[in-house]
Amino acid sequence: EVQLLESGGGLVQPGGSLRLSCAASGFTFSNFAMSWVRQVPGKGLEWVSEISGRAGSTYYADSVKGRFTISRDNSKNTLFLQMNSLRAEDTAVYYCAKERWEITDGTFAIWGQGTMVTVSS
């Protein structure tokens, strides 16, 4: 069974940093692109970042470019999102999502349960 388990969320002050992790199981991790998508509770979905299966290509939403870094460790089947210079508007549930192919194609086939990030003083 394909599973994605996010961790690393929490309460952080504006300007602070957090590192989210997503542990994957049930599939050959390196064969699939992965994404982070966020959702303000009660609101809609916003794509944040994606990375190809072999980590050769990364992409970011303009709202996080220069502050967030996506990476992956294929030997440990884990996806990461390093978030720096956090702002109140980054407060959201962060989901990791498995895409359909090794290259990024923007179809989020399987989602984790999410981890909540709250940016507040």
Amino acid letter, 19: R
For residues 38 and 70, is the Cβ–Cβ distance under 8 A? no
Query: Which structure tokens are listed for 31?
Result: 């064969």
Sole binder of another protein in the list 23, 27, 77, 114 (CB under 8 A)? 114
Site string for another protein, 18-37 (x = CB under 8 A): --------------------
Distance, in Å, from the CA atom of 32 to the CA atom of 61, rounded to the nearest integer, reads: 20
φ, ψ of residue 66 in degrees (nearest 5): 90, -15
**β pairing state of 10-12 and 115-119:** parallel
Give me the least distance between CB of 15 and another protein, in Å please.
25
Distance, in Å, from the CA atom of 69 to the CA atom of 63, rounded to the nearest integer, reads: 12
Of 15-23, 66-74, 78-86, 109-117, the segment contacting another protein by CB under 8 A is 109-117
Of 14-22, 38-46, 69-77, 80-88, the segment contacting another protein by CB under 8 A is 38-46
Site string for another protein, 42-71 (x = CB under 8 A): --xxxx-----------x-xx---------
Q: Does 113 bind another protein (CB under 8 A)?
A: yes
φ, ψ of residue 30 in degrees (nearest 5): -70, -15
Site for another protein, rule CB under 8 A? 44-47, 59, 61-62, 95, 100, 105-114
